[in-house]
Amino acid sequence: MATLPAGGNCTSVKGGLMVSPRRILTFILLMAAATACSAAPPQESSMLPQCPDRPNCVSSLQQGTSHAVPPMALHGTTEAAMETAEQILRQMGAASVSKTENGIHAVFRSRIFGFKDDMHIVADSSQGLLHIRSASRTGYYDFGVNRRRALDFAARYADATRRP
């Protein structure tokens, strides 16, 4: 049986877990701080936009920075690579996937609060590379979600294009 803290100020939650109002308030304040900064969806261009000075963005075009993720080798034609990328983004659960003039734009939504993250994939056929950028539209810190998503995409792309 759980004991009440001094003053008895607890709220019972499903499963008998006791949560103090102070913890609830702390959680709400942390979530508000995480969403205090917001940005518009990135504009389309031939290059991926630079990541802002926040840790909630990764890009394969920003090597040597904290935002860096490796680019992927472009296998086959650009069209085939982009088709594969589009299929992978849909398998990963993107809320929307659309082709742009120079690549693919996908929007992912967080499960609990519905925050939007943008992922862009562009092909650099002259270098034989596929570049990726994944960034949160709102907040400052994303707990590594965009980095994990970009690396997950890269692993799935490598598996899908692995030559037998």
Domain range for 89 is 48-161
Q: In this structure, how many other beta carbons lie within 10 angstroms of the beta carbon of residue 148?
A: 13
- Reported pTM: 0.71
The verdict on residue 17 lying in a domain is no
Count: domains in the chain: 1
3-state secondary structure at position 63:
coil
- Tokens 């994944």 -> residue: 134
12: confidence class by pLDDT, cuts 50, 70, 90: low
d(Cα 113, Cα 150) in Å, to the nearest integer? Answer: 21
The verdict on residue 150 lying in a domain is yes
The verdict on residue 30 lying in a domain is no
Q: CA quadruple 139, 143, 147, 150: dihedral positive or negative?
A: negative
Q: In this structure, how many other beta carbons lie within 10 angstroms of the beta carbon of residue 34?
A: 18
pLDDT winner (highest mean) among 27-36, 86-95, 109-118: 86-95
